[in-house]
Structure 1
Amino acid sequence: MKKIEQKIDEAFKNTFLLPREKAVTQFLVDVFNSKYTFREDDKRIEVISLYYNASSPLSSLIVLPNYEYYSPDKTVQIAELHLKEHSLEDYSPIDVQELCKKVLNENNIDYSSYLDQNNHLDYAHYWENQFGLETDFLMNCWRNAKEQTQSRMLGFLESSDGESGMFDLDNNFVIPFDVELDEYLRSHGFIIEKAN
Structure 2
Amino acid sequence: MKKIETKIDEAFKNTFLLPREKTVTSFLADVFSSKYKFREDDKKIEVISLYYYASSPLSFLFALPHYEYYDTDKTIQIAELHLKEHSFQDYSPADVQELCKKILEENNIDYSAYLDENDHLDYAHYWENQSGLEIDFLMNCWKNAKEQTQSKMLGFLESSDGESGMFDLDNNYVIPFDVDLDEYLQSHGFMIQKEN
Could you tell me the TM-score, scaled by structure 2's length?
0.99
Q: Which runs of 5+ in 2 are unaligned?
A: none
The residue identity in structure 2 corresponding to 1:185 is L
| 1:85 Cα deviation after fit | 0.5
Residue 149 of structure 1: aligned partner: 149
Q: How many residues align?
A: 196
SS in 2 for 1:62: strand
| 1:40 Cα deviation after fit | 1.9
The residue identity in structure 1 corresponding to 2:149 is T
The residue identity in structure 1 corresponding to 2:73 is D
Instruction: For 1:183 and 1:162, locate their aligned partners in 2 and report how far apart those are by CA, in whole Å.
Output: 20
SS in 1 for 2:141: helix
Instruction: For 2:176 and 2:120, locate their aligned partners in 1 and report how far apart those are by CA, in whole Å.
Output: 35
Residue 130 of structure 1: aligned partner: 130
Residue 140 of structure 2: aligned partner: 140
Q: Deviations over 1:100-139 (max 9, x none)?
A: 0000000000000000000000000000000000000000
Let me know the Cα RMSD of the aligned residues: 0.5
Instruction: For 2:55 and 2:24, locate their aligned partners in 1 and report how far apart those are by CA, in whole Å.
Output: 18
Residue 25 of structure 2: aligned partner: 25
Instruction: For 2:143 and 2:163, locate their aligned partners in 1 and report how far apart those are by CA, in whole Å.
Output: 24
Q: After TM superposition, which residue ranges in structure 1, 4 or more long, deviate above 3 angstroms?
A: none
Instruction: For 1:195 and 1:179, locate their aligned partners in 2 and report how far apart those are by CA, in whole Å.
Output: 20
| 1:194 Cα deviation after fit | 1.3
| 1:195 Cα deviation after fit | 2.1
Instruction: For 2:18 and 2:189, locate their aligned partners in 1 and report how far apart those are by CA, in whole Å.
Output: 34
SS in 2 for 1:157: strand
Instruction: For 1:195 and 1:162, locate their aligned partners in 2 and report how far apart those are by CA, in whole Å.
Output: 23
Identity %: 83
Instruction: For 2:148 and 2:73, locate their aligned partners in 1 and report how far apart those are by CA, in whole Å.
Output: 31
Could you tell me the TM-score, scaled by structure 1's length?
0.99
Residue 179 of structure 2: aligned partner: 179
Instruction: For 1:70 and 1:41, locate their aligned partners in 2 and report how far apart those are by CA, in whole Å.
Output: 12
SS in 1 for 2:151: coil
